Every structure is written in structure tokens, then in C-alpha cells.
Structure 1
Amino acid sequence: MTIENDLVNGTDRDYTHGTAIQWTSPPNRDPLNIGFFASPFVSRNADIRITYQLGQNLYTPQDIERKPPDPDDRPYGAWLYGAVGVVADDEDSLTSLQLSLGVVGPAALGEQVQSFVHSVIDSREPRGWDSQIKNEPALLLTFEKKWAESLLGAPYGYDIDASPYIGGALGNVFTHINGGMMLRFGKDLPTKEYGPPRIQPSTPGSGYFEPTENFNWYLFAGIEGRMVARNIFLDGNTFSDSASVDKELLVGDFTYGVVFNFGRTRVSLTQVVRTPEFDSDKDLSAFGSLGLTYAF
């Protein structure tokens, strides 16, 4: 389970909340179960896992008490989805492909969720959901290729490694290409772990980890750049008129945090700082992520 929210930064805007629950299958090396996916992207000896995910994302402008909202700020938007993915863990890389189907707009229940949570924590009342983007079926295909960690050094008995990756998304929700690098620092770094879990549009794969008999931890930091062709939460609806703003074509994320592994449980704490996503936004946005994973 992964929960992302900007409350830890004292803000309530942009990507303001996300919740996702994911289950990852045991590995399977039967070629009949991986079909076309194995041939162009991974070897037949790769460990293949199937992932299933349910999630919801919420997006809001900066002033959620303003009604109607500022037309120069990002529109209200929500996304409710289910996803199935294939993750191929090869000797030196992790390749993931995921298909998400769902809905954006009022049917995604963003207004109900945010209003309920804000009433419970006695926070500001969101008043502009009436102007959110309209109902629309949501389709998204995401792909990512991440190479295994390459050891950079071992100062004072600690390991430092790096894992580069490239990927992309295609659909009416997001369309972009991305690339980045993740650095890790710790003792006895796990070799079959590809960083902390993140919510859509990140691809699956990081939900898997190897249980350990001992307690261990590591620090991580990463950077990612995206070239964005479409973001429905900025561009507005695909097939009808709705609120929209002019998006930035280049967006960057800086990520850092810590992961704790003990027994069959993993806990990850992540902070993400994001460059402005649309023209009238001049400030960085930030949100925190908490990931809880258990190996059955």
C-alpha cells in the first residue's frame, strides 16, 4: 500500500493526494505465460511477475477555498483506476509494462474523498470541485526499463550504487517519455530491489523486495526528467471542453528518502520535489510518500 500527500509539506495544491494498493505475484518462468512481452524486451530466463493495482489520484489548485477557482491555476481533477502489469526481472535489468483502465472526472469521487478527509482533520473546505474536469474514460499504458544497480563505491563499509532507467506513458491521461537515475547508500544493499514504490504514472516493479532475516536500511536520492505531450489534469478533457492551463513541456522530479527492511516487511518514506508543471505556476511543488509492503 502506498499513500502520497502534500500535507507533510504544509500545502494543499497540485498533486495533493494519491492512494494505491498493489499485489505482486510470485515469479514465473513459463514462456507461455509471458507471450509477446518476453521476445522484444527480456530474455526467456527472466523472473516474470504479474501485478494488480487499484488507485486514486487527486489534483487541486492552490486556493481550494476560492469559488469559482482561479482560471489561471490548475483545474480540479480526480482519477480512479485499476491496473494490471507485467514485471520481468532479468539478470541485469527490470522491465515493466502496465495497462491502466479507469475514469477521470466526478465519477472518480475526488470531491467526496477530499471533503471527507478535510472534515475529519478539520482542514480547509475544498469549494471548487463543481468546476473539475468532466467524466471521461481513462486509458494509460506505461513502460519502463531499469538497469540493475552498479556499485559506485564502498566508503567506510557502506555501499553506494546507481540504477538508471528510461520509460514512457501513452494514453489520454498521460503521454510522455522519461528518464532518470536512482542512487542508494547503505550497508548490505539488497540486490533484488529497485527502489521505493511510487503511485501512477510510475510503473510497477518496485513493489517487490526480498525478505531479510536482519534489519537493514538504506538512503536513496534520484532525479527524473519528463518530456510531456499530454497531461489531462492540465490540458483538460480530450473529447469535450473543460477547464485547462498551458502545461510545461519539460518537468523534473527530485526524490529522496529512506527504506527500512525488517523480516518480511518493508517501510519506505519518500519526499518528491517537482518543478512547475504549467506556465502560470512559478513555484516548486512537493509531496511525501509512505509505502508499506509485506511479503506473504
Structure 2
Amino acid sequence: MSHSGGMLQRITRLVLPALATGLSWPALAEGTGTAQPPEDERPVWTLTLENDLTNNTDRYFTNGIRLNRTSPVGAVPEAVVDAARPLIGTIGTVRWTVGLGQNMYTPSDITVSDPDPDDQPYAGWLYGTIGVLNDLATGDGNRTQTSVQLSLGVVGPSALGEEAQKFVHEIVNSPEPQGWDHQLHDEPAVLLNLERRWVVPSEPIVGDLRGDVSPHVGLALGNVFTHAAAGFTLRFGEPPQYDYGPPRLQPHTPGSEYFAARAPDDEFGWYLFAGAEGRAVARNIFLDGNTFRDSPSVDKELLVADLSAGVVVTFGDMRVSYVQVMRTKEFDGQEGPSLFGAFSVGYRF
């Protein structure tokens, strides 16, 4: 067999079992494995930033930022576990998360004071989150991660999108946005995110380098986003067993800020990854407009996809990632796909 044929066979052995695992959805079955992620007494703090400056654009989803804390195992309030239990199913290794974030959206031309009514409306979203991460061994080295995340906040002027964008543009010497007087009105923002991700054991691909695949499904419910999602991530390099890939901001499924501590004799690690997620969209407040008041709005696309690729590097207690994202058109008349970069840094304090 040729070298390329052998590599294709190894990749096939990765993909097919993962897809079969994902499609079967062993929803609330008892976990049969006993291996658990290594426990570390310190929480993980993660800063995630998504911005289109990396692609020299300034439109649509133009900036998002979130600061998040993930607890160590065993430090989860019982009330939080009880609230999430009906959505988690079988309890494995549980952590909880809290965070604060902000997203900003603008039309394609921010230099005009009267924006095109057929373009992306101005909007800001400020929110706090609380969530639960449940890591469960399901046998034969397979694992699932289930996350439940509740976000509460506000969309509109009180989200401070105008102030944040003007402050940043002054620092980086970009044009001052002129159309924030036409942004969405103030509205309480509620969002519940559910995600399940499957990971199969990594396989050797070339020498000591390994690869794995993790399919995922997700559901968003609320007046901010309502959609169903499905996707996958392929990784190559030195992916840690208990690393579920870099975090992302909504509307993409949130992912995980948690990453396992590396062994003392294996401080440095890295992997490359590529992934895709498709979403069937029922509501997107940043396109549909306010729920209870007239506001700027556009006709949204019902099917949206994110294609992404990037790199993750871990060194000791730190994980750094960069993701390049292409998001397909989200509304009628949009001038091409959205392009932006996603950067995150996590540290175990």
C-alpha cells in the first residue's frame, strides 16, 4: 500500500467511528468508562476576542469579547448542578463557568449617518453567562462533553456598543462610526445554549503526530438567537486527550474554555485544526430586529455556515489559540461572506 493510501486509511478510521458515535447519540446512558480528566485545583481564566480587523474589514459581526472563569472539579454549587441536571443527563466530571461578554454589529458602511435600511443594523449586546461543563467517559476511550450555558443581558444602547466601538476606533485610528443613532432599541436579552461534543481517541497519522475528530450538535433558544447547529472539528499534531478545541463566541456553539493540565515532563504542545458548523436559523435579533418594537431589520438567511481553521499552542498552564473564520451570508443583499479572526488565551491561575 502507498504512503498516501495508508494515511487515508488512518484518517478514515478516525472519521467513521466518530460519525457513528455522533449519530447514535447515547443521550442519557450511564457512562461505562472510568478514566477521568486530571483534576487541577486551580480555575482557568480565558479571554476570547473575535474581530474582523484581521481581515481588514469593518462590517456585520465586527467585534466580540468575553472573559470567562471555569472552576476546578468539585467546586460547583449544588444548585447549579441541580438546575442543569435535566439537560446534562449522566453526571461525570463537572465544572461550572461564569463570564461577561459583549458583541457588536454594524453595516458595511459606517461612515454615513443614515445607514442603508437593507444592510446589517447597528446593534450591541452586553451579557453575563453562567454554565455547566460535564465530561463523561462512555467506553472504549470515547468521551462526551455536554455544556449548558445561560446568558442574560441587554441588546441596545445600554449594551454600550457605540461607546466601545468609538473608543477602539480612536485608539487604532479608524473612521468614527456615524450611524449608531439607528441601532436596535433596548431589550432584555435571554439565551440558552446547549451543546454536546463527542471525541474519539486520537490515532497516529505521521510519526508521533496524531489526529482526531469531534462532531458536535447544538441548540440555541431565546430572543437573541434561536437555531439548531451541527458540525465537526478535525485536529492534527499533539492534541491533548481532554482538550475540546478553542472557545468561540455565539452564534457559534460556545465550545470549551477548559483545557487539561499538561504533564510536568510535557510542558509544550500544539495542534492544527479545521472545522465546520451549519446552523438552521429561526431567529437572530441582530437581523430580525427588536422583538416587541419596530426597529431596523433585514431578511435573514435560514441556513448559515461557519468554516474555520487555526492553531492551538499550550505551554505549561497557558493555552493560546487563533482561528480564521469565514461565515456565509446571513441576510439578503449581504456583500459576500463575513471574515474575521478569533483569538483566545487561557491561563490556569
The TM-score with structure 1 as length reference comes to: 0.95
Equivalent residue in structure 2 for 1:257, among 300, 303, 310: 310
Paired residues in the alignment total 294
1:38-96 CA-to-partner distances (Å, cap 9, x unmatched) read 4563323x011110010000000100001200111110000000010011011110000
Structure having the higher Rg: 2
Which residue does the alignment assign to 2:191?
Answer: 140
TM alignment of 1:1-296, pairs within 5 A: 1-28=47-74, 32=78, 34-35=81-82, 37-38=84-85, 41-44=88-91, 46-91=92-137, 92-151=143-202, 153-187=204-238, 189-204=239-254, 206-212=256-262, 213=264, 214-296=267-349
Aligned equivalents of 1:57 and 1:169: distance in 2?
16
Q: Is the 8 A contact 2:76 2:95 kept in 1?
A: no
* Segment of structure 1 superposing worse, 209-218 or 189-198: 209-218
Q: Secondary structure at the match of 2:202?
A: strand
Q: Is the 8 A contact 1:97 1:204 kept in 2?
A: no
Paired amino acid for 2:153 = G
Q: Is the 8 A contact 1:153 1:161 kept in 2?
A: no
Runs (5+) with no aligned partner, structure 1 = none
Aligned equivalents of 1:52 and 1:195: distance in 2?
19
Higher share in strand: 1
Paired amino acid for 1:15 = F
- CA gap of 1:150–1:181, structure 2 versus 1, over 3 A, is farther
Paired amino acid for 2:248 = R
- CA gap of 1:42–1:31, structure 2 versus 1, over 3 A, is farther
Q: Is the 8 A contact 2:67 2:99 kept in 1?
A: yes
C-alpha displacement of 1:199: 1.6
C-alpha displacement of 1:197: 1.1
C-alpha displacement of 1:286: 0.8
* Segment of structure 1 superposing worse, 206-215 or 147-156: 147-156
Fraction of identical pairs, as percent: 53
Aligned equivalents of 2:53 and 2:331: distance in 1?
21
C-alpha displacement of 1:149: 3.5
Q: Secondary structure at the match of 2:260?
A: coil
Paired amino acid for 1:219 = L
C-alpha displacement of 1:36: 5.4
Paired amino acid for 1:35 = D
Q: Secondary structure at the match of 2:114?
A: coil
Aligned equivalents of 1:51 and 1:202: distance in 2?
18
Q: Secondary structure at the match of 1:154?
A: strand
1:230-276 CA-to-partner distances (Å, cap 9, x unmatched) read 00000000000000000000000001100000000010011110000
Aligned equivalents of 1:152 and 1:25: distance in 2?
30
Paired amino acid for 2:307 = F
Q: Is the 8 A contact 1:87 1:205 kept in 2?
A: no
Aligned equivalents of 2:150 and 2:48: distance in 1?
19
Higher share in helix: 2
Aligned equivalents of 2:64 and 2:153: distance in 1?
15
Aligned equivalents of 2:339 and 2:296: distance in 1?
23
Aligned equivalents of 1:77 and 1:252: distance in 2?
21
The TM-score with structure 2 as length reference comes to: 0.81
Q: Secondary structure at the match of 2:207?
A: helix
Aligned equivalents of 2:297 and 2:84: distance in 1?
36
Aligned equivalents of 2:190 and 2:287: distance in 1?
16
Q: Secondary structure at the match of 2:177?
A: coil
C-alpha displacement of 1:155: 2.2
